[in-house]
């Protein structure tokens, strides 16, 4: 099909959109006046997301029980346990696993972008994680725990599971958005004769919302794992995600040829690293890594495996990855120290890690549709687009409030008689954390995808997750303070730092709100030029 149709020619808006007699692109006046809505969402996003839904299930099935599994002894009368390593070690292991799972996507991105492509890398990651889960299950059996295999088995299993997660986490998000092929805003006449703009930016935002909603069904493992851990044993808790991962792998195998995919682009990561090194050496300016600049300075032909446009793409990719790691340091406390805090409270016969594994994903499942169908459209109707940087900042403020509440409850638990504070008082913390995820983390994923060049989308997604790993490394560094009374000071300091970070992010990056739509359009046009 010609890419330059005449004014009277018809062209499909996207793979899923009907024809219209309107011009292909809206005028500037129409862009200002007409409401913006999402295009149809390809059903294949649900089939792509099943891999990460399974990954979320196993992550929750491990991180929820992990604190009890490592901290408490095998035959504790009050709380379930297995390894008896104490709270500080349990918290450190939780941060290590979270860090490892967010670090490995760098490897997954290189494998996908340079060698196997996204679909094959996701499938390989799923198989690898299934093997790791099998090891975790086998070494949590009573006979292996009694013979001392639990601790080394846990470490080996977590490493293998993290390797598998790396192949999944860096590639599912970009592959999900790749299933939508619309590139430009177009006008559509609705059934009631209203004219609206089918906006690719709004569509990608909703795609990521629904994708995140779907994978949080997997996160609802927290509704199951604590009860199985308490009523049966840990081996039964880990058997469930083993079965889930096995089923997800089978689905991926059968659907692997149905996804919209793009072939590997070669050694993108190696070339990007080389260009970054040249830019760093030359006054830390990426423009100085452009072949045109180097030719001008040295007066001779420079044989480099990239062009000026590649350097510009790196600059956009770097800007797309800016999220403060302190957010993930705070988030790590909700799956570690808050579980220990609940253990000091009156749990009313419920598992102390029940809220950690259930309220957060349930809140996301409830709040995300409200944001997608009510809040965001309402804001757009009154002229408030609520762009990604604003959403990220809002999410940071919410996280600061969540940790402040945790500090208050920790102080209350210390000053009250043992087990007298109702652990349902922790519930608002998990709701606030879910709200901050929806606005901060989800927006950062969307921002990274829409701003990154096509050849680097997996790499940029993995670098975005690398910042999560840095937050977990910070948590690992301060894990020795995860004991009485330092934990109270830790909560208070984190809340303050998170609040200041929110202010810094908005002051430094709010200028990109005004450039957001223009930057997205530049990248879409670049993609169209490459296709031609």
**β pairing state of 195-198 and 36-37:** parallel
Say which range, 37-41, 477-481, 499-503, 514-518, has the weakest mean pLDDT. Answer: 514-518
pTM of the full structure? 0.69
Q: Which residue has the higher pLDDT, 123 or 263?
A: 123
* Structure confidence by residue, pLDDT tens digits, 225-243: 778 888 888 898 889 888 8
Q: Which residues of 234-247 are buried (b: 16+ CB within 10 A; e: fewer)?
A: bbebbbbbbebbee
pLDDT of residue 518: 61
Residue with tokens 């423009």: 287
Structure token digits, residue 474: 């910070």
pLDDT of residue 157: 94
Q: Which residue has the higher pLDDT, 268 or 202?
A: 202
Instruction: Name the DSSP class of 41.
Output: P
Do the beta carbons of residue 104 and residue 129 sit within 8 Å? no
pLDDT of residue 7: 37
Percent of the chain with pLDDT over 90: 13
List the domain boundaries for the chain.
Answer: 38-266, 268-306, 324-517
pLDDT of residue 452: 66
Do the beta carbons of residue 130 and residue 242 sit within 8 Å? yes
* Other Cβ atoms within 10 Å of 181 Cβ, number: 14
pLDDT of residue 342: 85
When the candidates are 3.30.390.10, 1.20.1560.10, 1.20.1250.20, 3.90.580.10, the CATH number that belongs to 324-517 is 1.20.1250.20
CATH architecture of 38-266: Up-down Bundle (1.20)
Distance (Å, whole) CA 204 – CA 196: 17
* Other Cβ atoms within 10 Å of 249 Cβ, number: 19
Confidence of residue 519 (pLDDT cuts 50, 70, 90): low
pLDDT of residue 12: 37
Confidence of residue 154 (pLDDT cuts 50, 70, 90): very high
* Structure confidence by residue, pLDDT tens digits, 364-395: 999 999 998 899 888 888 888 888 888 889 99
- Mean pLDDT, to the nearest integer, of 156-184? 83
The reply to whether 38-266 and 324-517 are identical in fold is yes
Confidence of residue 277 (pLDDT cuts 50, 70, 90): confident
Q: Is the pLDDT of residue 408 over 70?
A: yes
Q: Is the pLDDT of residue 456 over 70?
A: no
Structure token digits, residue 226: 């604590």
- Mean pLDDT, to the nearest integer, of 457-471? 71
| Number of helices followed by number of strands (H, E) in the chain | 23, 3
């Amino acid at each position: 099909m010609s890419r330059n149709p005449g004014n009277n020619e018809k062209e499909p808006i996207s793979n899923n959109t009907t024809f219209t007699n309107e011009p292909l692109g809206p005028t500037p006046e129409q862009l200002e006046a007409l409401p913006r809505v999402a295009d149809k969402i390809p059903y294949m996003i649900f089939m792509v997301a099943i891999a990460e839904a399974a990954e979320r299930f196993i992550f929750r099935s491990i991180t929820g029980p992990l604190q009890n599994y490592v901290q408490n002894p095998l035959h504790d009368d009050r709380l379930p346990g297995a390894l008896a390593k104490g709270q500080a070690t349990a918290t450190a292991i939780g941060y290590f696993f979270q860090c490892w799972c967010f670090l490995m996507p760098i490897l997954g991105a290189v494998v996908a972008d340079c060698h196997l492509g996204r679909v094959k890398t996701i499938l390989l990651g799923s198989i690898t994680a299934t093997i790791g889960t099998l090891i975790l299950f086998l070494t949590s059996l009573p006979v292996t725990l009694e013979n001392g295999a639990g601790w080394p088995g846990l470490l080996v299993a977590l490493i293998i599971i993290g390797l598998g997660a790396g192949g999944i986490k860096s590639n599912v998000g970009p592959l999900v958005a790749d299933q939508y092929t619309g590139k430009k805003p177009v006008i559509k006449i609705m059934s009631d004769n209203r004219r609206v703009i089918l906006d690719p930016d709004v569509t990608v935002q909703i795609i990521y919302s629904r994708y995140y909603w779907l994978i949080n069904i997997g996160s609802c493992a927290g509704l199951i794992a604590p009860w199985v851990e308490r009523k049966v044993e840990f081996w039964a808790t880990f058997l469930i995600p083993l079965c889930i991962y096995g089923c997800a792998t089978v689905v991926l195998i059968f659907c692997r040829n149905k996804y919209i995919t793009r072939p590997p682009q070669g050694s993108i990561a190696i070339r990007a690293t080389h260009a970054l090194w040249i830019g760093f050496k030359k006054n830390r300016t990426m423009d100085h890594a452009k072949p045109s600049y180097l030719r001008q300075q040295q007066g001779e032909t420079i044989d480099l495996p990239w062009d000026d446009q590649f350097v510009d793409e790196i600059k956009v990719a770097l800007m797309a990855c800016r999220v403060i790691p302190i957010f993930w340091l705070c988030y790590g406390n909700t799956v570690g120290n808050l579980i220990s805090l609940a253990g000091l409270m009156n749990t009313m016969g419920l598992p102390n890690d029940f809220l950690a594994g259930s309220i957060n994903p349930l809140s996301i499942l409830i709040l995300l549709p409200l944001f997608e169908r009510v809040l965001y459209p309402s804001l757009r109707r009154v002229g408030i687009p609520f762009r990604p940087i604003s959403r990220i900042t809002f999410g940071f403020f919410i996280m600061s409030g969540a940790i402040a509440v945790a500090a208050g409850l920790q102080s209350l638990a210390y000053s009250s008689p043992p087990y007298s504070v109702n652990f349902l008082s922790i519930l608002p913390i998990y709701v606030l954390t879910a709200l901050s995820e929806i606005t901060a983390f989800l927006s950062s994923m969307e921002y990274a995808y829409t701003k990154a060049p096509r050849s680097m989308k997996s790499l940029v997604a993995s670098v975005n997750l690398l910042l999560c790993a840095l937050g977990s490394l910070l948590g690992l560094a301060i894990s020795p303070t995860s004991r009485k009374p330092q934990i109270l000071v830790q909560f208070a300091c984190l809340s303050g730092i998170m609040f200041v970070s929110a202010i810094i992010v908005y002051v430094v990056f709010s200028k990109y709100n005004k450039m957001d739509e223009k930057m997205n359009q530049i990248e879409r046009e670049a993609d169209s030029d490459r296709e031609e």
